[in-house]
Amino acid sequence: MAYVITEKCLAERYGDCVEVCPVDCIHPGTYKGDVFMIIDPKECIDCGACIPACPIDAIVDAVDKDPEYAKINADLTEEFKKNPKIETRPPGDQPRKSTNKRVF
């Protein structure tokens, strides 16, 4: 079972999760015209390092917690894997969407 990046990441893309992932299974791209990240379900080892790293709680630890976005992550994997890595946003950078409250 892989972890899933949810809709909360859409238009945010902090990238902190990428820095802590030991298997490089998190990839950036564009979805619905906005920046987004996905977790490759075939590479994810369920280590949990990404969850506390995400400042907006955009990652869930089970496919059944967000099946819609689990499918989106899987469907976008091959396309997103071709994209270059991103730089993380600066510490303290506020969410772009008002619905994403920062979690510390």
> Does 8 reside within a domain?
yes
pLDDT at 12 over 50: yes
Residue 55 lies in a domain: yes
- The answer to whether position 90 is within a domain reads no
* 104 pLDDT more than 50: no
Q: Domain of 35? A: 4-81
| Residue 86 lies inside a defined structural domain of this protein | no
Q: Does residue 21 lie within any of the structural domains? A: yes
Model confidence pLDDT, tens digit, residues 70-99? 999 999 999 999 999 998 898 889 998 877
Query: Using CA atoms, how far apart are residues 59 and 92, in angstroms rounded to an integer?
Result: 19
Residue 27 lies in a domain: yes
Of all residues in the chain, the percent with pLDDT exceeding 90 is 80
Above 60 in pLDDT, residue 102? no
- DSSP for 19-85 reads HH-TT--EEEEEETTEEEEEE-TTT-----THHHH-TT--EES-GGGSHHHHHHHHHHHHHHHTSPP
Q: Do the domain assignments include residue 103? A: no
pTM for the full model? 0.91
CB 28 within 8 A of CB 15: yes
CATH number at 50 reads 3.30.70.20
pLDDT digits (tens, 9 = 90+) for 47-67: 999 999 999 999 999 999 999
Total domains in the fold of the chain: 1
Give domain status of residue 69, yes or no.
yes
